[in-house]
Structures are given as structure tokens and as C-alpha cells.
């Protein structure tokens, strides 16, 4: 598996005129500024989805759709274009949002989406476009959530990454280090595990396993995964946390005091390149801060 993150390329934001998309654009321009790269605002027309059977949409319909798209992108560009240094460009795609952004992810550094429930970036495969991109994008995907991430104090909060020993966790750790360095933030690497599930894994429902040994093993795993990246990011201060808790609940608690939560696109037990794990699903719907689902071109 190629675990190398793309170090160049624009920050790509999905724009649909919603409050969530405007938040995504603001987060995106701030992040582009931190990474010293450009920002691209994308709007998807979804014209293939507008066909009624084999009848193409009328010229009048297409003009209205295009006018609306241009207005949305102009307003989004006005929102972010004057406050920060990065160059801002706009793009209109005929395809659906998911298809357009998956294609854009081939050259992007990050794909950024708002968390608005009802928008042009709507359901695909029974879930949100964020979920679809988490399974198929060629770069990390960010869902901008929460109400405090744009406050000055938020930049003093840490980047938190969930670690479970899987290959996907290594990609997440690389993404987390990259964001921590760009933001001058501390990195907190969290591994959470439950006594009940661990007992069952060891064939001891009564829970008589030697938990101190299990905790030491978990700490050793966490140290080994994190240490692979320390030499490449010597300026990032790292804190390691091993807790007895359900992973999604622990990361949701951390999201209240983090500026960004980072997780893999699938954890242990997931299907390669197809499903966003249950922890990631929970975070993109309930986290109190933006959530980054880490991916690379080959993940």
C-alpha cells in the first residue's frame, strides 16, 4: 500500500450555496493558506441525473441551472477571496457531485465538504457524498462540522488521530502529522479498546484476561505506529493516549477539544476501498469539530 500523501495540489471545496458549504469554503481557504497552496471551488450540475428517461433537459432548464451555478460560485468566491492570500478558482462540472469530486481528487491535496444535510451534495449508495468520497477519493476528505472551529482559540487546540494498528491508521497518522505541522499544533494519537470486546476476542467472556499485559501491548502498538513518522515531523509535539473505551465515543469526546479529528477510511475489519468504518460514520455525523477521512491514491 502506498502511504505517501500528496504534498502538492489545491484544496478543493464543494460549493452548493448552503450554510455548510460556506463554512467548508472558509475552512478550505484557511487550510490552503496554511499549506501555501490554492483553493478550487467546485459546483456540480448533476445534469445526467436531470434526464427523464431518455429525454435530455431543455435549453431553458440548462440556462437556469448554469446561471444558478455561476451565482453560487461567485458568492462563494466573494466570501473567501478577499481575506486570504491563496488564489481562488471556480469550476462547474456536468456530473453528479460525487463523480465530479472523485475526479477532482486525482490532483487535489484535500477535498472539503460542508456537513449540511440537505444540499446538492446528496445521497449516493444510501449515504452522503462525504461517505462516497471516503470510500473512493484519491486524497483525504474533510467534513467541516462544529461551531467553534473558526474561533481564534481553535487554532491552539490539538489535532487528534484515531489509531487501531491497521494499515488505514498509518495513512491517518501521516495525514494528522501533515496537518499538525501546517497548523503548528500538537498531535494527540488515541487508541481506544473495550474490555468486553477484548474478552470475547480472547475467548474469555468472564473477563479474566490479564488486562495490564493487554494495555502494555496496546501502548506498544501505538508507539510503533506513531514512531514511523516522528523523524519526518520533528517539530510536532506528540501525545499518546490509550484508554478503555469504545473508539467512536472516545473520539467524539476528543472532538469537543480538538481543531480536527483524523481517522482512516476503514479500520480493522473493513472492506478495502468500499466502506467507511462505523467510527468514521459516527464522526462525520456527530463530531463537534471538522473530521478528516484519510486516503491516498492507492488506499
Cα(43)–Cα(146) distance, integer angstroms: 23
CB 30, CB 79: distance < 8 Å:
no
The pLDDT of residue 293? 94
pTM exceeding the 0.95 threshold for the entire prediction: no
Sketch out the chain's domains with CATH numbers.
11-144 (3.40.50.620), 152-294 (3.40.50.12370)
In the block, residue with C-alpha cell 476501498: 273
The pLDDT of residue 120? 42
pLDDT tens, position by position, 169-194 = 999 999 999 999 999 999 999 999 86
The pLDDT of residue 275? 46
The pLDDT of residue 273? 39
Q: C-alpha cell of 105?
A: 481528487
CB 265, CB 298: distance < 8 Å:
no
* Whether residue 208 has pLDDT greater than 60: no
Cα(159)–Cα(226) distance, integer angstroms: 14
Residue 101, classified by CB atoms within 10 Å of its CB into exposed (0-12), middle (13-18) or buried (19+), is buried
Angle formed by the axes of helices 278-286 and 247-255, nearest 10°? 30
**In the predicted model, what is the mean pLDDT of residues 73-101?**
90
Cα(179)–Cα(159) distance, integer angstroms: 7
Amino acid at each position: 500500500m502506498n502511504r505517501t500523501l500528496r504534498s502538492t495540489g489545491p484544496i478543493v471545496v464543494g460549493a452548493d450555496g448552503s450554510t455548510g458549504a460556506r463554512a467548508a469554503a472558509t475552512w478550505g481557504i484557511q487550510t490552503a493558506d496554511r499549506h501555501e497552496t490554492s483553493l478550487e471551488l467546485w459546483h456540480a450540475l448533476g445534469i445526467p441525473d436531470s434526464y427523464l428517461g431518455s429525454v435530455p433537459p431543455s435549453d431553458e432548464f440548462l440556462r437556469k441551472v448554469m446561471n444558478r451555478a455561476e451565482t453560487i460560485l461567485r458568492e462563494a468566491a466573494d466570501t473567501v477571496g478577499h481575506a486570504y492570500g491563496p488564489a481562488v478558482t471556480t469550476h462547474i462540472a456536468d456530473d453528479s457531485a460525487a463523480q465530479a469530486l472523485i475526479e477532482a481528487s486525482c490532483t487535489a491535496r484535500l477535498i472539503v465538504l460542508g456537513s449540511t444535510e440537505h444540499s446538492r451534495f446528496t445521497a449516493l449508495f444510501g449515504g452522503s457524498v462525504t461517505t462516497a468520497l471516503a470510500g473512493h477519493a484519491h486524497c483525504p476528505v474533510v467534513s467541516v462540522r462544529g461551531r467553534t472551529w473558526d474561533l481564534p482559540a481553535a487554532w491552539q487546540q490539538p489535532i487528534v488521530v484515531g489509531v487501531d494498528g491497521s494499515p488505514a491508521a498509518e495513512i491517518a497518522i501521516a495525514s494528522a502529522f501533515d496537518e499538525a505541522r501546517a497548523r503548528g499544533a500538537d498531535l494527540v494519537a488515541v487508541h481506544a479498546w473495550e474490555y468486553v470486546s477484548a474478552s470475547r476476542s480472547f475467548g474469555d467472556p468472564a473477563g479474566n484476561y490479564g488486562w495490564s499485559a493487554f494495555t502494555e501491548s496496546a501502548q506498544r502498538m501505538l508507539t510503533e505506529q506513531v514512531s514511523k513518522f516522528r523523524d519526518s515531523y520533528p517539530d510536532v509535539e506528540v501525545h499518546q493516549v490509550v484508554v478503555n473505551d469504545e473508539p467512536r465515543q472516545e473520539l467524539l469526546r476528543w472532538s469537543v477539544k480538538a481543531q480536527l479529528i483524523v481517522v482512516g477510511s476503514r479500520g480493522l475489519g473493513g472492506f478495502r476501498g468500499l466502506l467507511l468504518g462505523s467510527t468514521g460514520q459516527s464522526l462525520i455525523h456527530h463530531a463537534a469539530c471538522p473530521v478528516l477521512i484519510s486516503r491516498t491514491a492507492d488506499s
